Amino acid sequence: MKTKQGDEKHWWAVMLRDPQWWVPLIVLVGGLMVLRWIR
Amino acid sequence: MAPTSSMPPLERSRLRRLQTLGVMCGFAAGAWLGAAEAPTKLVRAGVSPVLISLLMVVGVFLARWSLPALARGTSQVYADAQRAPHLIVWAILAGCLWAVANTLTVFAIRDIGISIAFPLWNLNSLLGIFWGFIFFHELRDAGWWRWLGVLGGAVLMFVGALLLALASSMQAPGGHALHGVVAALAAGALWGTMYIPYRKAYLTGMNPLSFVAFFTVGELVMMTVLALESTGGPGLLWRELVTEKSVLFWLAAGGFIWVIGDLFQQYAAKYIGISRGIPLSNTNQLWGLMWGTLVFGELHGRSASLHVEVIGGSVIMSAGAAAIAFSAAPPEEHERWQAAAIRESTLYGTDIEFVRAGLEGRATESSTARTALDWAMLVIATLVFAVLGAIARAPMVDLNLPAALVLLGLIVVILALCGTALWQTTKFS
């Protein structure tokens, strides 16, 4: 994937640096922990 | 094509049309998501919460690959995935969030009753508004009047939801109050956050039907893992499924209805954003109550004060929804959405024309032909539903059939109206 700056970066690498990616991921892990706790 | 850093403002008349369409989709989502509760009410108490959730997800998965596959086939889903491959992961992540949240709600209802649980997880609207503002420039440059409409409307809807939930509470809490409250709040947090992937996908130009295709994969995988862990392995899960075989159809039917509501919710998130789309689709509580009271006679013989509470809650909730519906995004705010879309395009290198076409509700694909794979999936999905239907037992529940037919007719009319409007305005893009 080519970014505007012309750098060749795989979209995985871009995604891992995207803060918007980490928010849902952290919330998902938190949800799974709550589920384990209440069961 | 390399992404550019600018995008011309959307024509005012087109923006107005898309906003109206988004509002219609938000209300249609509420109607269908609320109706999805009806088939599950036919299932007797005692079925495992995880099994209920799993079967609904199976219904959702099959439904996605039935009628919607005819609207937009696998070849177009593949083309979308090629243009923005990162969104596959986002959609699967959203599906996982939904599955965990849905399972948490079942536990929350068990522990604190629906009266407290429902308003708690409905706080997802406020979280959606927060994420929409922080990440996607929603409500920026919208003016204080629209801020008041959206935030005030969401608060009114919360109050209405609280009243309705208290009135419709039919079951006593089963203890473990802290567990129940935490489960309901966590479900609200998961659902509120699930809209980040939704919005991200639509700012990047992805088609809702493509997004839902991968979303259902995430749901099914996560729910299967949870069910296997909960029951103790594939053998035990299968045994439980066989034991409950007579109710599987009704749960899957609930999932089928749910996915239609979810598709409308996706289009609402796309055209009016998550800060307005989520609260509008939360009107599902009103529809769930209508099915409960008119079809299943849930409030029959209850006190007059309770009926006043129900009417009051419904009026407040409707007023909140109306306030949001009339707070459409002005051109200045839409330009901020475009800026957020350009950020996505720049970050991930997505073709700016694809992003722009998606934001403007224009179809980009040249071919809409269905492949043999689409027809095969349609046949498989139909066969599975037919088999589940054949082994299903008629529910031993008293229901008001004329009322059920009226409500069913109403949601079908809503489906036809919104489906036609979507096709005419965006060709389902």
Give B371's DSSP letter.
Answer: P
**Shortest Cα distance, chain B CAs vs residue A32, angstroms:** 7
For B98, nearest residue in chain A (alpha carbons): A28
Q: B193 in contact with A at a CB cutoff of 8 Å? A: yes
Summarize the confidence of residues B63-85 as an average pLDDT. Answer: 81
Confidence (pLDDT) at B270: 93
Confidence (pLDDT) at B82: 87
Q: B182 in contact with A at a CB cutoff of 8 Å? A: yes
Q: Is A8 helix (H, G, I), strand (E, B) or coil?
A: strand
| CB contact (8 A) between residue B135 and residue A35 | no
Query: Is residue B164's pLDDT more than 90?
Result: no
B92 token code pair: 């699967």
What does the domain layout of chain B look like in residue ranges? 12-426
Q: What is the largest CA-CA distance in chain B?
A: 66
| CB contact (8 A) between residue B346 and residue A3 | yes
pLDDT category at B10 given cuts 50, 70, 90 is confident
The predicted-structure confidence for B286-296, as pLDDT tens digits, reads as follows: 888 888 888 88
DSSP-assigned states of every residue in B64-92: HTSHHHHHS-HHHHHHHHHH-THHHHHHH
Q: Which of B2, B29, B56, B32 is nearest to B412 (CA)?
A: B32
**Shortest Cα distance, chain B CAs vs residue A37, angstroms:** 8
The partner residue sitting opposite A34, judged by closest CB among B182, B346, B349, is B182
Q: B182 contacts in A (CB within 8 Å)?
A: 34, 37-38
Summarize the confidence of residues A5-32 as an average pLDDT. Answer: 85
| CB contact (8 A) between residue A4 and residue B176 | no
Q: A1 in contact with B at a CB cutoff of 8 Å? A: yes
Contact B196, B135 (CB under 8 A): yes
Query: Is residue B300's pLDDT more than 80?
Result: no
**Shortest Cα distance, chain B CAs vs residue A25, angstroms:** 7
User: What is the rounded distance in angstroms from the CA atom of residue B304 to the CA atom of residue B235?
Assistant: 50
| CB contact (8 A) between residue A28 and residue B100 | yes
The predicted-structure confidence for B180-205, as pLDDT tens digits, reads as follows: 889 989 999 999 999 999 999 999 98
If you average pLDDT over every residue of chain B, what do you get? Answer: 86
pTM: 0.89
pLDDT category at B134 given cuts 50, 70, 90 is very high
For B103, nearest residue in chain A (alpha carbons): A35
| CB contact (8 A) between residue B183 and residue A25 | no
DSSP-assigned states of every residue in B368-381: -PPPHHHHHHHHHH
Query: Is residue A34's pLDDT more than 80?
Result: yes
Query: Which of residues B113 and B30 earns the better pLDDT score?
Result: B30
Q: What angle do CA B317, B319, B320 make, to 5 degrees?
A: 65
Q: What angle do CA B369, B371, B376 make, to 5 degrees?
A: 140
Query: Is residue B237's pLDDT more than 80?
Result: yes
Look at A29-33, B89-93, B355-359, B421-425 and tell me which has the smallest mean pLDDT.
Answer: B355-359
Summarize the confidence of residues B40-56 as an average pLDDT. Answer: 77
Query: Which of residues B258 and B115 earns the better pLDDT score?
Result: B258
Give B175's DSSP letter.
Answer: S
Look at B116-120, B390-394, B405-409 and tell me which has the smallest mean pLDDT.
Answer: B116-120
Tally the C-alpha atoms within 13 A of residue B134's C-alpha that lie toward its C-beta: 12
**Shortest Cα distance, chain B CAs vs residue A4, angstroms:** 6
| CB contact (8 A) between residue A24 and residue B196 | yes
Query: Is residue A2's pLDDT more than 60?
Result: no
Q: B2 in contact with A at a CB cutoff of 8 Å? A: yes
Query: How many interface pairs between A and B have CB atoms less than 8 angstroms apart?
Result: 83
User: What is the rounded distance in angstroms from the CA atom of residue B227 to the CA atom of residue B237?
Assistant: 7
Look at B49-53, B152-156, B296-300 and tell me which has the smallest mean pLDDT.
Answer: B296-300
| Surface of A (9-38) touching B: CB under 8 A | 11-12, 14-15, 18, 20-21, 23-25, 27-28, 30-32, 34-35, 37-38
Beta bridge partners of A8: A2
ipTM over 0.90: no
Query: Is residue B388's pLDDT more than 70?
Result: yes
B404 token code pair: 């059920």
How many other CB atoms sit within 10 Å of the CB of residue A16? 10
| CB contact (8 A) between residue B183 and residue A14 | no
User: What is the rounded distance in angstroms from the CA atom of residue A25 to the CA atom of residue B398?
Assistant: 43
* Three-state DSSP string of B321-368: HHHHHCCCCCHHHHHHHHHHHHHHHHHHCCCHHHHHHHHCCCCCCCCC
Query: Is residue B421's pLDDT more than 50?
Result: yes
The partner residue sitting opposite B100, judged by closest CB among A1, A23, A32, is A32
| CB contact (8 A) between residue A15 and residue B226 | no
The partner residue sitting opposite B104, judged by closest CB among A1, A15, A35, is A35
The predicted-structure confidence for B309-329, as pLDDT tens digits, reads as follows: 888 888 898 888 889 888 989
Q: B200 contacts in A (CB within 8 Å)?
A: 20
Find tokens 């009271």 and name the residue. Answer: B293
pLDDT category at B1 given cuts 50, 70, 90 is very low
The partner residue sitting opposite A11, judged by closest CB among B86, B183, B187, is B86
**Shortest Cα distance, chain A CAs vs residue B356, angstroms:** 16
DSSP-assigned states of every residue in B8-55: PPPPHHHHHHHHHHHHHHHHHHHHHHHHTHHHHHTSPTTS-HHHHHHH
| CB contact (8 A) between residue B5 and residue A4 | yes
The partner residue sitting opposite B107, judged by closest CB among A1, A24, A38, is A38
